[in-house]
Amino acid sequence: MPLDHDFYLRDTAAVARDLLGMHLVRTLDEGLPLIGRIVEVEAYLGIEDRAAHTFGGRRTPRVESMYLPGGHAYVYTLYGHHCLNLVTRGRDIGEAVLVRALEPVVAMEVMRTRRRGRLTRLRDADLCSGPGKLCQAMGITRELDGCDVTRLGPLYVERPDRAASHDVEMEVEMVAGPRVGVAYAGEWAEAPLRFYFRGNPHVSRPRR
DNA sequence: ATTTAGATCCTCT
DNA sequence: GAGGATCTAAATG
């Protein structure tokens, strides 16, 4: 069952942390659902956060879905790629969590064929190790912008069963650090709003 | 109508 | 680690 609205209607950094280890499920018209385990996220804190698209209360057509209530998707395009966010808190707040990396769990070979680039040399850990890459691999486009991820639809998030959640069970260390690619955001660039599993090879940057 | 900037990716040193 | 590819929304004239 998908995580319900209550999960998302909370402090954004807390939602971000709690998303680590959850399964992102993408159902397509054909074939099995694609499933990836969330291993890296970033929190974007709305109108006060210089790095957020909603900074200063900016309200353009592109960011409109970021003002939806928690539990909706905000998908935007950047440099010809797509990026997936999960909206948090209440309607008109404008906060969200960027999903930055997944560990493939189900239908990895389908993900591989969806990825462009040098496919023959693509390692498993390169399939979903970045916000644009995971959208390529999972077939996430602007068609999914604004979609309700708390329903059993084309895209949702669920808690894995006990057997699959061994990192959390085994207390793999969860790390917080500065967000990626937001150097323009002044003091906000350094805020520890990026969360990931230490040592996980599917995270988008070299671990340490 | 044109320019700019950006929550990126890939290939090559 | 650097540089180019690539695309669009938003800002600017």
Q: Which residue's CA shows the smallest distance to C1' of C5?
A: A79
Gap from A79 CA to B4 C1', Å: 13
Q: A206 beta carbon < 7 A from strand C?
A: no
How many Cα atoms within 13 Å fall on the side-chain side of residue A55?
11
Q: A182 beta carbon < 7 A from strand B?
A: yes
| Strand duo A73-78 + A23-26: pairing | unpaired
Nucleotide nearest to A179 (CA to C1'): B7
Q: A93 beta carbon < 7 A from strand B?
A: no
Q: A62 beta carbon < 7 A from strand C?
A: yes
User: Between A8 and A208, where is the model more confident?
Assistant: A8
In chain A, what percentage of residues exceed pLDDT 70? 92
- Comparing A59-63, A129-133, A191-195, A204-208, which segment has the lowest mean pLDDT? A204-208
Q: Which residue's CA shows the smallest distance to C1' of B10?
A: A117
Question: How confident is the model over A101-155, as pLDDT tens digits?
Answer: 999 999 999 999 999 765 567 899 999 999 999 999 999 999 999 999 999 999 9
pTM of the predicted model, to two decimals?
Answer: 0.95
Whole-angstrom Cα distance, residue A43 to residue A178? Answer: 10
User: Between A6 and A119, where is the model more confident?
Assistant: A6
- Whether A26 and A140 have beta carbons less than 8 Å apart is answered as yes
Question: How confident is the model over A12-53, as pLDDT tens digits?
Answer: 999 999 999 999 999 998 889 999 999 999 999 999 999 999
Per-residue confidence (pLDDT) for residue A172, from 0 to 100: 87
Place of tokens 């680590």: A20
User: Between A200 and A117, where is the model more confident?
Assistant: A200
Per-residue confidence (pLDDT) for residue A208, from 0 to 100: 43
